[in-house]
Amino acid sequence: MLSPEEIEEVVENTKSGGAQIVKYLKTSAYYAPGRAIAIMVEAILENRDIVVPSSVILEGEYGYEDISIGVPIVLGNSGAKVIIDWGLDETIKAKFDLAVKSIKIILHMGERELFDKRFTMG
């Protein structure tokens, strides 16, 4: 597992990754997402069972159910074979909990907007 300092470095690098690609390649940041998709498709087609980050619906992992969020999984020919539930330290767990809460708020806002559009446009 990574140390808290290493995790923070990864987070910061991830935040600026797109800008770094544009800076060095002099092009858009389409390469990384495209390559990630290619790796996932190859894993499925060739049943490689590789560990990748992916947004999946949790079923008790990390203490949550019925929420889709990015976590590490084992990916193979049947899709997400295993959701890897790493024991998160308190700091990372608090950030993960905040991410889940943010997703739920956004989903609720979207549901409310759909409700308002359906039933208040008389």
Decide which of 115 and 46 is more confident: 46
Is the pTM of the predicted complex or chain greater than 0.75? no
**pLDDT number for residue 20:** 74
Alpha carbon distance 32, 115 (integer Å): 37
All domains in the chain, ordered by first residue = 4-86 (3.90.110.10)
Q: What confidence score (pLDDT) does residue 113 get?
A: 76
pLDDT digits (tens, 9 = 90+) for 85-97: 988 989 999 999 9
Res 81 pLDDT > 60: yes
